[in-house]
Each structure stands twice: as structure tokens, then as C-alpha cells.
Amino acid sequence: MRKWNLIIDCARCHDCNDCFLADKDEFVGNDFPPYSVAQPWSGHRWMNIHRKERGQVPIVQVVYLPQPCMHCEEAPCIKKSPAGTVYKREDGINMIDPVKAKGHPEIVETCPYGAIYWNEEAQVAQKCTGCAHLIDEGWTETRCSQVCPTGAIKLVLADDAEMAKMTAAEGLEAYQAGLGTKPRVLYKNFYRWDKVFVSASVAYKDTDECAEGAKVTVQSGGAKAGEGVANNYGEFVVDKLGLGGRYDVTVEAPGYQAYSTAVTLDKSLNLGLIVLEKA
């Protein structure tokens, strides 16, 4: 059975909020029986964009994580809500029945991602519907994937075997994978959110020039954890390192003494200016 999956690329999201606005345009003030009642004017973020800064000035990266309902295969909201109020469609989309769920605010607390909201006026729990009303009309895009200007959001119709192959090939990952919910929303370049980097600027002491081409090696327990090369500004970034890990950082350039230091990465770290002296 082919099911709908959403792939979100953390490297492509620029926080333009087009997805958020498209969601509002579609659902605020609009009832779509039997799929949903109108979303309130404020208070709901069916596409919720999380933000995080990594590093320190002048080497700083910002990453954005759009988070809709995860449409989990092992959905806690279905298991913990009153029978029939939340259900899974055959195409993989999880739905809250706007009639049966009426008067059940406890449904909001069943989602470990915080993706379910309470509509006080309608007295019903609500969330992203995966644009099921449009899918059933023949759409092959959700409103959020349709409007994304960078292609960060992609809707994919595939069976489980195809998705497993795509997941392995593109390095897709789940948000809060430890929850074990088997979400159908997966992330590409997720390391930007859950990993850390070490960075620095490198210069030669004798010439006061940027050390373009200086080689950087990062090791953990004697094993290589990453490597990089200083760019034409003398800056390097070695990414995809584990949070809380202890690493040995070595910077080398021909004709100069190697620089080494040990760091514990409780967060992404800029080591500042590293000055290499002649050998």
C-alpha cells in the first residue's frame, strides 16, 4: 500500500514562513467536513517552525525545523484518545474526527510533539490534516509543499519498501526518534539540528595572512570523527559531531607547527583565531 510521506530538508528551509501562511490561508475560517472545522484565527501552529543558532560570532549558523503533525505509524494520539476520535487512513494520514472528538480536550496531551491544539470556540482538538481534503480531490501536493520556494518540503507517495530505500539513500531521519512513533514526516540534513560543529579562523603568524588550505582533523578516542580545510578566509567548520562529545582538534599546514587542542562540545563551538607558527 502506497502512503503519503513528507520530506523536509533542514538545509533548504530559510524560515520564510510561506508554509505557515499557506496553512492559515487554507484552514482559518474554512470548514472542510468531514475532515476538519475551521482553524482559529490565532493560537494554532499546524506548521510550527522551530529555530536554533549554532556557533559564536563570527562563525554562526542558523537552522530551521518546520514541524507539522508527524502522522506517526505508531501514533500515541490514536492509542491514548477515546476510541474513534483519532484514526489513521489507509494512505497513512492521521485524522482527528471533528464530530467524535468534540468535547475531548485530553486529546491535546496525547501528542509527544505538541502538534495537537485545542479549538476553544469549536470545543475540539485539531492538528495538521495532511491536506486530506485536497488529496482526496486528486492533489499531489499539500499546501505547504506547494508553496515552498526552496523545495524544502516534498510530499512523497511511496510504499514502505520504497521509503526505506529513500531513507537510506538520502540519510533521512526522524525528529525525536527515541519516541518510537515511526513518523511519516522525515528530515534531510537533520544533523544541522541535532549535531554540533567545531570551527575557527586560522592565520600564519609570520605573514599575518589567512591560512587557506590548512588541514583540520577532529578525532574522538583516537578515531577520526571529521575533517575539514580552511577556506580563503582562513575559516573552517567541521560538522556532524556528537553533542557532549570530547574531541581532539588538530590544525596543520606545510612548513608550520601543528596546533592541537581538546574540546568538549556541549554546543557548537568557535575556537576563535588560531595562529600557526613557522616550524
**In whole angstroms, what is the distance from residue 159 CA to residue 205 CA?**
58
Phi/psi for 266 (5° steps) reads -75, -15
Domain containing residue 20: 3-193
Residues 31 and 44 in one domain: yes
Residues 162 and 89 in one domain: yes
Residue 146 has pLDDT above 90, yes or no: yes
Q: Answer positive or negative: Cα dihedral of 155, 194, 56, 252.
A: negative
**pLDDT, position 65:** 98
Residues 189 and 203 in one domain: no
**In whole angstroms, what is the distance from residue 268 CA to residue 245 CA?**
11
Residues 162 and 133 in one domain: yes
State if pTM tops 0.85: yes
Strands 185-188 and 3-9: parallel
DSSP-derived letter for residue 106 is G
Looking at the 3D structure of the chain, how many domains does it have? 2
Q: What share of the chain is helix, strand, coil (3-state, %, to 5)?
A: 15, 40, 45
Residues 243 and 166 in one domain: no
Residue type, 59: I
Q: Which CATH number characterizes residue 234's domain?
A: 2.60.40.10
Beta bridge partners of 63: 52
pLDDT band of residue 125 (cuts 50, 70, 90) is very high
Chosen domain end from 160, 193, 226: 193
**In whole angstroms, what is the distance from residue 16 CA to residue 255 CA?**
47
Chosen domain end from 193, 227, 255: 193
* Grid cell listed for 85: 476520535
Average pLDDT over residues 235-248: 97
What's CA 188's distance to the chain center, in Å? Answer: 7
Residues 44 and 114 in one domain: yes
Average pLDDT over residues 143-155: 98
* Grid cell listed for 52: 536554533
Residues 72 and 145 in one domain: yes
Cα separation of the two ends of the chain: 65
pLDDT digits (tens, 9 = 90+) for 171-217: 999 999 999 999 999 999 999 999 999 999 999 999 999 999 999 99
Residues 223 and 94 in one domain: no
Q: Which CATH number characterizes residue 49's domain?
A: 3.30.70.20
Residue 1 has pLDDT above 90, yes or no: no
**pLDDT, position 72:** 98
pLDDT digits (tens, 9 = 90+) for 16-65: 999 999 999 999 999 999 999 999 999 999 999 999 999 999 999 999 99
Residues 38 and 103 in one domain: yes
* Grid cell listed for 277: 607558527
